Amino acid sequence: MALFLVTGKTSLMAAERIDNPRNESSPTKLWRVLYFLMPVLLIIGALIAYKSSAALAVLGKVSSTGVFTPRGSVIPRVGTSEAGVLTRTLNYFLVIWPALVFGVLISGAVSTFVSPRWLGRLLGKRSLRSQAIAGLAGAPLMLCSCCVAPIFTGVYERSARLGPSLGLMIAAPALNPAALILTFMLFDYKVGMVRLGAGIAAVLFTGLIADRILGETRVHCDTDNWQAEARPADFVHFLRACVRVAIRLFPVIILGVVLSMVIAQMVPVRAFDSTAAKLLAIVVVAAVAVPLALPTFFEIPLALILVASGAPLGAAVAMLIAGPSVNLPSLFTIMRSTNWKVAAIVAISIWTLAVSAGVLLTLF
């Protein structure tokens, strides 16, 4: 009899455990979804509001004056050398630090609050649809390559989806809506269309090519005990994730910015005065633009400077495409999170797109 009672009680407890997920109320599920998604959505919303207000101010100024002048203390202007490498590096971070902080916060929020299974299902596997979803998610962020680099790390290590993670990373600077509008405002419409087409191609195919060439990639995702136990995340764990991202990525970002400023300082003044070597000018500009660290919108005045200094319009297009899409800090971040082969594929892909677009515009 005692054995029967114990067995019956055990069966009843097992049945309760099985039925427990079914008995979970819909409001409880909704609360859990909101709890995990709201921090990410709030940070992204604040970033979009911050970047949109700045972009609208720039667009309004350009619309009224017809010109856009960058800070010469960050990127060298033709014929001037008023600041050294370290000074330009410091000035660069003074310009981008709010967006870089947002990038770290979003990366920490993704690592803390977003379910890897949900993110993996959203991004899918090796398809243009997944790349398009990643591009649509990245474009509204309007971040430069340095500032979106921490988000790439968070999304990649949380989802194990290399292609879409790279697509999101490239889309933020390459498909920046405000930068595209400025391009159409300050250049011929053909330049704007070529830049838009090349940006879409970079988002759709760069990550897909890297994923197909390298096959499955192993991701080491740092998880705490609270994540393994599926307990609700809290503010302390979020801060820990942000600190971890900053410690891992800030050194490579700083190193990349310093090296890119050295490259910018070494570019010879009036190097593109001769129009006899148009193809060479496009190739050289694309090669310089890929590692160059540029704040948001800075590729546009540099392209205008190239045209004013005698370079062919194709070289300006190469700057508009390769300049914002990647740089040394973002490539170092990719290499830190994956390996040097992925970073090399991304750099070669962007360079090839920039050169092809520049040659296409020059010839036709």
Give the DSSP letter string of 240-282: HHHHHHHHHHHHHHHHHHHHHHHHHHHSPTTTT--STTHHHHH
At 274, list the tokens: 């001769």
Q: What is the pTM of this model?
A: 0.84
pLDDT per residue as tens digits for the range 301-315: 889 888 877 788 999
Q: How far apart are CA 161 and CA 133, in angstroms?
A: 12
Helices (H) and strands (E) in the chain, counts: 17, 0
DSSP 188: -
At 232, list the tokens: 């609700």
DSSP 75: S
Residue 28: predicted pLDDT: 57
Q: How far apart are CA 165 and CA 115, in angstroms?
A: 15
Residue 15: predicted pLDDT: 44
Q: Can you list the positions of beta strands (E) in the chain? A: none
Q: How far apart are CA 205 and CA 353, in angstroms?
A: 11
Q: How far apart are CA 288 and CA 321, in angstroms?
A: 12
Q: How far apart are CA 326 and CA 207, in angstroms?
A: 13
Residue 316: predicted pLDDT: 92
Whether the CB-CB separation of 333 and 165 falls below 8 Å is answered with no
Q: How far apart are CA 235 and CA 213, in angstroms?
A: 39
DSSP 94: H
- Dihedral angle at the C-alpha atoms of 139, 144, 145, 149, nearest 10 degrees? -80
* Residue listed under structure tokens 């455990």: 17
Q: How far apart are CA 329 and CA 153, in angstroms?
A: 13
DSSP 203: I
Per-residue pLDDT of the chain (364 residues; tens, 9 = 90+): 444 344 444 444 444 444 444 444 455 556 655 666 777 888 999 999 999 998 888 888 888 887 777 666 676 554 445 567 888 888 899 889 999 999 999 998 888 888 787 887 888 777 889 999 999 999 999 999 999 999 999 999 888 889 999 999 999 999 999 999 999 999 989 999 999 999 999 999 999 999 888 766 566 555 444 444 445 556 788 888 899 999 999 999 999 999 988 887 766 545 554 445 678 889 989 999 999 998 888 899 889 888 877 788 999 999 999 999 999 999 999 999 888 999 999 999 999 999 999 999 888 7
Residue 17: predicted pLDDT: 43
Longest dimension (CA), the chain: 101
DSSP 339: -
Residue 7: predicted pLDDT: 46
DSSP 33: H
Residue 24: predicted pLDDT: 43
Query: Exposed/middle/buried for 307, CB within 10 Å: 0-12, 13-18, 19+?
Result: middle
Domain ranges of the chain: 28-63+73-363
